[in-house]
Homo-oligomer: A and B are copies of this chain.
Amino acid sequence: MSDQSLRPGEIPAPLGTGATIGILGGGQLGRMLACAAARLGFKTNIFEPAMRCPAGEVAAQVFSAAYTDRMALTAFAKSVDVITYEFENIPTSALDLLGRLKPIRPGRRALEVSQDRLTEKDFLNEMGCQTAPYAAVDDLVSFEAAIEKIGTPSILKTRRLGYDGKGQLRLTKAEQAQVALDYIKGVPAILEGHVNFSHEVSVIAARGLDGSVAAFDPGENVHLGGILSTTQVPARLTPSHQQDAILMAAKLLNALDYVGVLAVELFVTNSGLIVNEIAPRVHNSGHWTQNGCTVDQFEQHIRAIAGWPLGDGKRHADVIMENLIGDAVEQVDSLAREPGTAVHLYGKADVRPGRKMGHINRVRPAQA
């Protein structure tokens, strides 16, 4: 039964021991979600086109098929009690099919908003959130109008399928427009204005099936080469900014009638917080919760989509999360010897530059 078949206001029963969580995507986020699900007595089935995947190793069943394989999608949906995902770029046709068979949590609205940078920016501004100035780019004419409005330096970003800095191009002069359009092969895009920010923070928040909301303490993020490098808690935030950030996340969760964990990336500027982007899923910048909270972001997400009460995400320690990217994973032996350090690896055999191989959490007693 999909969530659509419920009467308005009706809350589905929580899933019990032995129920099966379906996850679209078999990467490291799926792997850590599956382990969190196991902790709560659930089984996990994974849908993933790639033949071998990190999450498959901790799943009860793996469906290795394309997102266009309607028979495989149907079998997957029938094998699970609820469907969630570890990445937002799931083809709409697959979602249409799956959504008729089983509840998809978080729901379609969250995916529509986060799959398209223009829809996302429009939504955020409607919600009263500040964003970078932006304009749609569909062709050279609209691009030139966008440059006129936004100025340079600015960033051209494809509306869809971007992650870890992919599908982005920095524009320093208006004359680069044609080259930039050719580079992104003319797909729909937006031009984003430069934001003068001191640092980036993110809020990982969750909303339960009953509408209750909980947020982890904001983390402070440092990116290198477009990829998250470290997240540190506590973040440098004034008490009022910290409160603003959490209230903003809660407002977005409610507006999207959201179920599960949502990540909100924010720039800290002299004129307040500016939303960079949102991700409708557990997020790399929330990995610190594994060793800083009694209930981490993965379990919080599973609790939410299973209709359980949200757990206690209070932070009991200061944590610096550091991604192990590419051959940084080769330091694991010395990292594993560090007092207060937890090592998390994703089981990926091939080390490639820019590939997320694992992460560490350096844990220190919380400063009062």
Contact = CB atoms under 8 A, between A and B. Distances in A.
A87 interface: no
Interface in A331-368: 333, 336-349, 357-358, 361, 363, 365
A38 interface: yes
Consensus secondary structure, chain A interface: mixed
A170 interface: no
Interface in A13-54: 14, 17-18, 31, 34-35, 38-44
Contact of A365 (B38, B291, B316): B316
Interface stretch (A128-136, A156-164, A194-202, A306-314): A306-314
Nearest to A351: B17
A40 B290 CA distance: 14
A336 B365 contact: no
A57 interface: yes
Contact of A339 (B38, B42, B314): B314
Interface residues of A, number: 50
Contacts of A31: 38
A305 interface: no
A40 B340 contact: no
A147 to B, nearest CB: 46
Contacts of A339: 312, 314
* Copies of this protein in the complex: 2
Contacts of A344: 39-40
A50 to B, nearest CB: 15
A60 interface: yes
A42 B342 contact: no
Given A41-B345, A41-B346, A345-B40, A336 B303 contact: yes
Given A17-B357, A40-B343, A58-B38, A309 B291 contact: no
Most chain B beta carbons < 10 A, residue from A38, A43, A333, A358: A38
Contacts of A311: 336, 342-343
A169 interface: no
A317 interface: yes
A342 B295 contact: yes
A72 interface: no
Q: Report, nearest first, the 9 A-B pairs whose CB atoms are least far apart.
A: A41-B345, A18-B349, A35-B35, A309-B337, A58-B58, A41-B347, A57-B60, A312-B339, A38-B58
26 contacts: A14-B333, A17-B329, A17-B346, A17-B347, A17-B357, A18-B347, A35-B35, A35-B38, A35-B39, A38-B57, A38-B347, A41-B347, A41-B358, A43-B57, A43-B347, A57-B60, A294-B340, A294-B341, A294-B361, A294-B363, A295-B342, A309-B336, A309-B337, A312-B341, A314-B339, A316-B363
